[in-house]
Amino acid sequence: MGDSSTSKIKLYSFYRSSCACRVRIALNLKGIDYEYKAVNLFQGEQFSPDFLKLNPLGYVPVLVDGETTLADSFAILMYLEEKYPQYPLLPEDPNKRAINYQAANIVCSSIQPFQNLAVLKYIDENVGSGESIHWALTHINKGFAALEKLLAKYAGKYATGDEVFLADLFLAPQIQGSITRFNIDMTSYPLLLRVYKAYEELSAFQDAMPEKQPDAPKDIKVVS
Amino acid sequence: MVMKLYSHYMSSCTFRVRIALRLKGLDHEYIAVDMINGEHLTDEFLKLNPLGMVPALVDGDIIIADSFAILMYLEEKYPEHPLLPNDFQKRALNYQAANIVSSNIQPLQNPRIQASRKFSMYIGKISSPDEMLPWTQHHICRGFAALEKLLANCAGKYATGDEVSLADCFIAPQVDAASKRFKIDMNDYPLLSRLYKAYVELPAFKDAMPENQPDSPAVGI
C-alpha cells in the first residue's frame, strides 16, 4: 500500500474551484485514482512558499504525477488526455475537436478569469462591496449567450453531441458555480440548462462537485 | 480554397495565429475586421464568432474562433512544422505557458474589456482611465513572473527548447504588447527579454507583427 500511495497522482484542489472541478471530472471519467490535497484559498494557503513552488501563480489546480508537476486546468486536462487515453475527452472529428477547444476556451479565457477570487476581491475593495457579483454576471452572461449560439449546431445529449467531451468538463463547473455563487438566471440559456441536467445523471460529474469534496463546509449551498 | 483569417492588426490573440500560420507555411487571406467601427458586432461577424472577437478562421466549411482552438486545429490538421514536441512533459509545459498568457494575462488587458462601459464603470470609478494601466500591469507582471519560473529549467533558444513551439506563439505577442503598449520594464524579466530578442529574428514573427499588417496605420492603407 505504501508503494501505491507514493505513485498515486496528487491533485491540489479547493472544493469551490471550478478549474479544479474540471480536473476532478476528468480523473473520475478516466478512472484514475488520486489523492486530494486541499488548499484553503479563503485562508491564503495558495500563497504559502510550499504551494508557490508548485505553482508560482498561486492557483489551484495543480497535478503531481510522479516527477511531473503541472498547473493550469487546460494543461492538466491535455496532459491527462495524452498520457491516459482511456475514456477519450476529445472526439476524432477535427471540426468537433475544434468546437470543444473553442467552448472550453470561452469558459477558461472569457468567463472564469473574471470571477476568480483575486479579481472579485479587487472589485469589492476598490469599487464597492458586492459590486463583484454584477461584474461576474456581466461576463458570465456574455459567455453563456455565446455558448448557446456556438453549441446550437452541435449539441446532442451533451454539449457537442451524445458523448461527454472536453467542453462538458468546462461547462459543468461553470454552470454550477454561476447558479450557486452568482444566482444566474438560466432561463435565457435553455441549451446549457438541458446539458447541465444531463450532467446531474453522471456520477463522474456529481462526485466532482464542490459539495462532495473532502474540504467542503457542512453548510455548502447546492444546486436544487 | 485558401483559408481566411479574420484579424485586427492590434489583436494579440490574432497575432498568435498569424505567427502559427507562417511557421506552418500555410497560405491564407487576411480579412481586416474594423473593430473601431463595430464590424465585430455585426450579425455577419457574430456568425463567425458569437463572442464578437478576433481571430476567426474559415477553412473550407470549417469556422473556428478563439486563438487556442485555432492553433490546436491547425496543429492537428496540418502537422508539418509541428508546434508541439512529442514529449508529454514538454507538451504540458507548452499548454501551461500558453494558458498563463491566454487565461491569466491577456483577458485582463483586452482593450475592449477596458474600453467597455461596464469595465470603466467598475474600474474607472476608482481612478481615471489612465489609471487602468496599473490593473493591467499588475496582471502582466504576475504572469511574467510565473513564466520566468516555469520556463527557467526548460527554455533553450526559445521558450521550451531550441525549436519554436506553441508557447512561443503565445509569449511573443504578449511580450510585444507588454513592452510597447503597457510600459512594462522588461529588464525585470531576463528570460522573456532574451526570448523576445530571438523572436524578432524570425520572419514568421516579424511578418506577423501588428505594424506589418494590411490594416495597420503604419502600413498606410
Q: Give mean pLDDT, residues A33-59.
A: 94
> What's residue B126's pLDDT?
47
Three-state secondary structure call for residue A44: coil
Euclidean distance between CA atoms A178 and A107, whole angstroms: 12
pLDDT category at A4 given cuts 50, 70, 90 is very low
Is the pTM above the cut of 0.80?
yes
Q: Which of residues 111-130 of A touch B (CB under 8 A)?
A: 112-114, 119, 122-123, 126-128
> What's residue B130's pLDDT?
61
Mean pLDDT of chain B: 90
Higher pLDDT, A114 or A201: A201
Asked whether the beta carbons of residue A143 and residue B73 sit closer than 8 angstroms, the reply is: no
Quick one: which of B90, B60, B102, B92 has its CA closest to B77? Answer: B60
Whose grid coordinates read 450557486?
Answer: A180
Let me know whether B99 and B44 are in one domain: no
Length of chain B: 221
> What's residue A219's pLDDT?
86
* A158-211: pLDDT as tens digits: 999 999 999 999 999 999 999 999 999 999 999 999 999 999 999 999 999 999
Euclidean distance between CA atoms A212 and A224, whole angstroms: 15
Look at residue A98 and tell me whether its pLDDT is greater than 50: yes
Cross-chain CB nearest to B108 (options A82, A113, A123) = A113
Q: Which residues span the domain enclosing B53?
A: 3-81+208-220
pLDDT category at A108 given cuts 50, 70, 90 is very high
* DSSP one-letter string for chain B: --EEEEE-TT-HHHHHHHHHHHHTT--EEEEE--TTTTGGGSHHHHHH-TT--S-EEEETTEEEESHHHHHHHHHHH--SS-SS-SSHHHHHHHHHHHHIIIIIIGGGT-HHHHHSHHHHHHTGGGS-GGGHHHHHHHHHHHHHHHHHHHHTTT-SSBTTBSS--HHHHHHHHHHHHHHHTS---GGG-HHHHHHHHHHTT-HHHHTTSGGGSTT-GGGT-
Looking at residue B12, which CATH number applies to its domain? 3.40.30.10
Let me know whether B156 and B56 are in one domain: no
Three-state secondary structure call for residue A130: coil
The rounded percent of chain B whose pLDDT value lies above 70 is 88
Residues of B whose CB is below 8 A from A126? 123, 125-126
Let me know whether B193 and B95 are in one domain: yes
> What's residue A5's pLDDT?
47
Let me know whether B77 and B143 are in one domain: no
Let me know whether B108 and B40 are in one domain: no
Let me know whether B13 and B40 are in one domain: yes
pLDDT category at B128 given cuts 50, 70, 90 is low
Question: Number of structural domains, chain B?
Answer: 2
Let me know whether B190 and B214 are in one domain: no
Let me know whether B23 and B103 are in one domain: no
Looking at residue B95, which CATH number applies to its domain? 1.20.1050.10
Let me know whether B17 and B37 are in one domain: yes
Q: Which of residues 62-91 of A touch B (CB under 8 A)?
A: 68, 70-72, 74-76, 78-79, 82-83
User: Containing H/E element for A95?
Assistant: helix A94-110
Let me know whether B110 and B68 are in one domain: no
Please give the C-alpha separations between residue B188 and each of B120, B138, B152, B167, in angstroms, as whole numbers: 29, 13, 14, 20
